[in-house]
Amino acid sequence: MLTIGWFSTGRDEAARQLLRVVWDRIQSGDIEGRIVFAFSNREPGESEESDLFFELVHSYHIPLICLSSRRFKATQDIAAKAQDEALPAWRLEYDREIMKRLQGFTPDLCVLAGYMLILGKEMCQRYDMINLHPAAPNGPKGTWQEVTWALMESRAKISGVMMHLVTPELDRGPVVTYCTFPLTGEAFDEHWRETGEFSIADLKKEQGETNALFRLIRQHGLAREFPLIVSTLRAFSKGEIRIEAGRVLDTQGDPIAGYDLSSEVAKMAGMK
C-alpha cells in the first residue's frame, strides 16, 4: 500500500476539492494507498479557507501537522543569507523545523497539493515529492497564466499537464507523469485566427484573461489537472512507476522520461 504525505497551504476550495477527490479514490480502492499525514504552512485561525481545509482533514482522521510560515518568519533574522542557496536562511530553518515535526512519518511519496512555498535542498533530499505543473514536458515554465500566454505567443500546437519531482529549482525537476492535448482542431482554430491579427502585448492590454483563446486553453488544461494527479497516485500504488535515487523508473526498473497518461486522463476528464 502506497503511503502518502500531503502538503497544502489549504488556501482555497480547490485545495479541499483535490483532497476530497483523492480521498474518495482511496476509499473506492482505485488508489491503493493511505494518506499518513497532512502538513500545512498555516495554523488554525490564520485564514477562514485554511480552517475549512483543516476541518476536512480532521473529518478524514488524517494526522494534521501545522507550522505557520508567516509566524515563523517573524521570529527569524530575515536578512540572514544562506550560503550557496537560492532560499533565504530563515526558509531553510523553517524546512528543518518541518522535518523535526514529521519525524516518525515515512511516506513513500509526498504530494504538493496547493503548497505555496518553494522547498529547499534538504527537504527535497529527505522525501520523494511530486508537484503539478500546468504544461507539457519541455513546455513553458511559470504560473498557469504565464504558461498560457507563452503558448499563445509561440502559437503552440500541443500543450499538457505534468507531475514532476520536486527540486530546489522551480518547475525543473524530472518529469514523473504527464498528459498532452492538441491546441488545434474545431474548438481552437477559429480563436487562433481571431488572435492572429494582434500581438500578445496588445491582447494582454486590451482583453487580458478574458480572451477566448486564453480561456479555452486554460479550460482544457484545468480539466486534466485533478485526473492527472489521481492517475499518477494510482500508477504509483499499482507499481507501474516508482522513484529511486531521483530517477523515475517503470515496472522493469528502467529509467523513463515521464509516464504518458494522456489517454487515461482524457477519459477521466471527459475530453476527446
Residue type, 50: S
Quickly tell me which residue has 512519518 as its cell.
Answer: 105
Give the whole-angstrom CA distance, residue 272 versus residue 269: 9
Give the whole-angstrom CA distance, residue 248 versus residue 120: 21
SS3 category, 223:
helix
Which residues of the chain are in CATH 3.40.50.170 domains? 1-127
Q: CB of 19 within 8 A of CB of 13?
A: no
Q: What is the pLDDT along the chain (272 residues), one digit of tens a residue?
A: 999 999 999 999 999 999 999 999 999 999 999 999 999 999 999 999 999 999 999 999 999 999 999 999 998 877 777 665 677 889 899 999 999 999 999 999 999 998 989 888 899 999 999 999 999 999 998 889 999 999 999 999 999 999 999 987 665 689 999 999 999 998 899 999 988 878 889 898 889 999 999 999 999 999 999 999 999 999 999 999 999 988 999 999 999 999 999 999 999 988 76
Dmax (CA) for the chain in angstroms is 59
Whole-Å CA distances, 101 to 17, 74, 95, 175, 230: 26, 19, 10, 29, 27
Classify residue 36 by its DSSP letter: E
Look up the CATH architecture of domain 1-127: 3-Layer(aba) Sandwich (3.40)
* pLDDT for residue 18: 95
pTM as predicted:
0.91
* pLDDT for residue 197: 78
Q: At what angle do helices 212-237 and 144-153 cross, to 10 degrees?
A: 120
